[in-house]
Every structure is written in structure tokens, then in C-alpha cells.
Structure 1
Amino acid sequence: MSRIVVSEFITVDGGIDSPGGEPGFDRAGWAFQFSRGPEGDKFKLDEVQKADALLLGRKTYDGFAAVWPTVKDEAGFAEKMNSMPKYVLSSTLTGPTWANTTVLGSVDEIAKLRESGDDELLVNGSGQLVRALGERGLVDEYRLMVFPTVLGGGEKLFGETSTAAKLKLVDSQVVGTDGVIVLTYQAL
């Protein structure tokens, strides 16, 4: 069975997207005001290098697809992002232009994809998708890079749910010089 790993930039008050602005990088710009240091950069690089595919919601996909194909870097992060398989949950996307993209029409299709594989599917951003996956018990691990700020509004990672989820903290580390903390939880 494939593992679904959610990786999020998140604020102390649970925000993942600031109010206003456009979806994608603009609305998470608050995260780039803090130093996550070389160890935080290495964490994100290792995470992407280990992943077999990306699983994204439509808004995050659109933001990523507009940026990543033009990015060049020495570490190989962009090369991996652009070459790996990508699955996007959307009922309206047709003819995706970002290389290696497959459109999935429902969370049921994601559940079937998870059951049929043995790889790691990495979810970045995609708050609505993450909440739907969590509601269905499809998330195996949460990697939360917590930034020392409070947005006071905007989209939250977790909302109301019909089922409680129990998590086990398996790793924590402070990265950078600004008090950014990476928390890794396994779903039980």
C-alpha cells in the first residue's frame, strides 16, 4: 500500500494560507519571512527526493504548475518536482500542461491509487484535499513545518471533522535561527 504524506508550512494558529492574495506562493509568502536554515532546506530537499509522486489539490497544482517548470537549481529540487509523477484532484481540470500529470476526479480514486501502489505520495499545500484525506483516514504521516507567526485568519489546516484522528509524534527538530520547528506525526 502507498503511503500518503502531508507536508505543510503552518503557523502557530494552524494557518496554511493567509487571507487575500492569489492561491499558491503569494498566500504562503509569510513562511519565507523566516529562516529555516540549511537544515530546514535539507529537510525539504530530502522529503522531495524520497517521494515517488506528488498528490495535489487543484489550487496548489495551478500555483506549482505556473512556477516549477521555469525553476532551475543546483540541488536538483526543481528537476525532481518537474519529472516526478503528479496526481491532481479536480473535477474541472482538463489537459494539464505540467509534465507527468494525471487528473483524478474523486477521493475514491485516490484511495484506489493508495491501495494499488507501494510508493510515497507527497501532498504539499492543498488544504481542502488534506482535510478530505484526513476525514477518510487516508493520511499516513503529517510533516508540519511550524513558523513562529499568527495569521489570525485565512485557511486552516484542520477544520471540523466527523472523526477524531490520533497521531503519534515521531520526530521534532528546530531548524534555522528564527524558531521554525518541524514536527512529524504518524497517524495511528
Structure 2
Amino acid sequence: MTRELVYTGFMSLDGVVDSPGGEVEGHRSGGWVMQTEFVPEAYSLKGEELGETTALMFGRRSYDAFAPIWPGSEDHAAYKDLPKYIVSTTLTDDDLVDGWGPITVLRSVDDVAALKQGDGGAIFIHGSAELARRLADADLIDRYNLLVFPVVLGAGKSIFSHIDRDKQNLRLRESATYSNGVAKLVYDVV
């Protein structure tokens, strides 16, 4: 049995995952999640994920963005002691934060594939659009947990590749829509 690798994230209707939280992330339309009316039930997926997550995975840039904030965040306290896997060719042990559970640096997609073959439960990828794209192209993503927001951004990072590749079928596991226009879409990769 292999470990499930789940991409979870906020996405615009046109597939952009770039800078949902703020302009500091670099996108000129940054902060688009916070500009949508807050409806608590629209974020219930995030709470459901807490009980299912046994490890976290990040690309280098997302790790650099989350590492200074998440270890002390009450909203992310349940993640604090979980194993973290950072996929990077440049990250060194000196770059790792203390007090955020065990952190392992993986150097390649092959390292991720080997990790999936080990023991343990679901590994969730937060942010990390470029990593998600590489892992999807290598057929390593098993599920997408998406909150799709009613906004079209026109530019930005996507988790889906634009290369010519074989078709990949998805099966809808769960869906819901909310009064603020957000749609929850949970897809298993077939």
C-alpha cells in the first residue's frame, strides 16, 4: 500500500493558486481569498484535513513563506509536530526552522516517489504550485482538495501543467457550494 499524496489549496476559477493570502507573495491581485466574503462553512474542508494529515510537503518557496509563520500559528497548531518534507535542490540544514517537528529535505521527484512507498498516512501539499505540477506530471498526486473562488485572475501560477501529456481522469469524491460563491471540489486521480 502506498501513502496518499494530496494537493490542497485555494484556486481561482481560471486555475490560479498564486498569492491567495496577500500581495507580499508577488501577484498583483494578491489577497483574493481574503477579498471574498467570509462564510465559515466554506472553509470546513480545511478542518476536515487536520484529522487526515499525517505529514506535510512543501516546495522550497512555500516552505520559506510558511516556516516563519506556521510554527507559532494557533490555526496551524495541529501541524506543528507532524513530519515535514521539503522538496528542494538548494535547501540546507542551516535553512531549516527549529521547533516545527521533524523536517526532511527531499532532493527529487524520485525521492517523493520513494517516500510514497513507505509506511504512513496521507501527506498533504500546501501552496507549492510548481512542486504540485512536477508531481502531477510524474503521476504522483492521488487527490486534489480544492476550494475554488469566484474570481478570474488571468495570470499567475497553476498546479496544472500546460505541457502536452496523456489525459488524466479524475473522479469527483465530494463537492459543495457556499453562499459566497466558493465551491469545494475533492477529486481522486483515477
TM-score by length of 1: 0.88
- The code of the aligned residue for 2:6 comes to V
CA distance in 2, matches of 1:135, 1:126: 14
Does the 8 Å contact 2:133/2:161 carry over to 1? Answer: yes
In structure 1, distance between residues paired with 2:79 and 2:26: 15
CA offsets 1:117-163 (integer angstroms, 9 cap, x no match): 23100011111111111111111111110000011111122122323
- Could you tell me whether the CA contact under 8 Å between 1:135 and 1:163 is conserved in 2? no
- For structure 2, the 5+ residue unaligned runs are none
Corresponding residue to 2:85 among 74, 84, 87: 87
Cα distance in 2, alignment partners of residues 3 and 85 from structure 1: 15
1:21-40, aligned counterparts within 5 Å?
21-23=23-25, 29-40=31-42
Alpha-carbon RMSD across the aligned residues, in angstroms, is: 2.3
1: CA distance between counterparts of 2:113 and 2:26?
25
User: For 1:112-127, what aligned pairs fall within 5 Å after superposition?
Assistant: 112-127=114-129
The reply on whether 1:52 has 2:54 as its aligned counterpart is: yes
Which portions of structure 1, spanning 4 or more consecutive aligned residues, are displaced by more than 6 angstroms? 24-27
Paired letter, 2:90: T
Higher helix content, 1 or 2: 1
Q: Which residue of 2 aligns with 1:5?
A: 6
Q: Structure 2 CA distance, aligned partners of 1:120 and 1:86?
A: 12
Q: Give the secondary structure class of the aligned counterpart of 2:135.
A: helix
Equivalent residue runs for 1:176-187 within 5 Å: 177-187=179-189
1:58-82 Cα shifts (integer Å, max 9, x gaps): 111111102112322xxxx421122
Greater alpha carbon shift after TM alignment, 15-24 vs 101-110: 15-24
Q: Quick one: distance in 2 between partners of 1:166 and 1:173?
A: 20
SS at match of 2:33: helix
Q: For structure 1, which segment, 27-36 or 16-25, has the greater mean C-alpha deviation from structure 2 after superposition?
A: 16-25
- Residues paired across the two proteins, number: 183
Deviation by residue 1:69-119 (Cα, 9 ceiling, x = unmatched): 2322xxxx4211222111010111112115221110111000000011231
Displacement of 1:26 in angstroms is: 9.6
Identity %: 36
CA distance in 1, matches of 2:136, 2:185: 17
> What residue ranges of structure 1 are gaps of 5+ in the alignment?
none
